[in-house]
Amino acid sequence: MGDSQYSFSLTTFSPSGKLVQIEHALTAVGSGQIFRNQSGMGPDFRVLVRKSRKQAEQYHRLYKEPIPVTQLVRETAAVMQEFTQSGGVRPFGVSLLVAGYDDKGPQLYQVDPSGSYFSWKASAMGKNVSNAKTFLEKRYTDDMELDDAVHTAILTLKEG
């Protein structure tokens, strides 16, 4: 793996036989509560992330607990929808995948530029969305273990 002890390959195995990127992903899963990913215009995504962070901070300040995933998605979608109707602004050129974990368990939402949002068990978006979704339909099961789910996500990225 070189001097840095990091590998950016999706299929590099450690000496103990584990996929390195899955181990990194599992570590990251334990360190946060909500994850956002985007397809589209990066600057629009950054604006929405700033607004989402502000909403989450305000909620935490008021209720002394993390914002529920569904509420954050709903508020972000409302901002995106408002920009489709307001004068002097354009709609956000971005779709979001928002994954989070709260008292309702793990959740995944997709938010479109129109402000519509949908709950999914597994989803993909972007350039090769049809290939990725076809792959997910073949691989995903409701009773997947966390390691297998992370591995499937990485393979979906590679497939798409």
Report whether 115 contacts 51 (CB < 8 A): no
Q: Residue 57 pLDDT more than 70?
A: yes
Domain range for 46 is 33-120
| 110, part of any domain | yes
Confidence of residue 157 (pLDDT cuts 50, 70, 90): confident
| 83, part of any domain | yes
| 151, part of any domain | no
- Tens of pLDDT along 93-150? 999 999 888 888 889 999 999 999 999 999 988 888 899 999 999 999 999 998 898 8
| 134, part of any domain | no
Report the number of distinct structural domains present in the chain.
1
CATH classification at residue 103: 3.60.20.10
Q: Residue 87 pLDDT more than 90?
A: no
Question: Burial of 38 by CB count in 10 Å (0-12 exposed, 13-18 middle, 19+ buried)?
Answer: buried
| 15, part of any domain | no
Distant-in-sequence, close-in-space partners of 68: CB < 8 Å, separation ≥ 6 = 102, 103, 104
Q: Where are the alpha helices (DSSP H) in the chain?
A: 20-29, 42-63, 69-82, 129-139, 146-159
Task: Give me the pLDDT at residue 2, please.
Answer: 46
| 105, part of any domain | yes
Task: Give me the pLDDT at residue 11, please.
Answer: 58
Alpha carbon distance 120, 65 (integer Å): 25
pTM of full prediction above 0.85: no
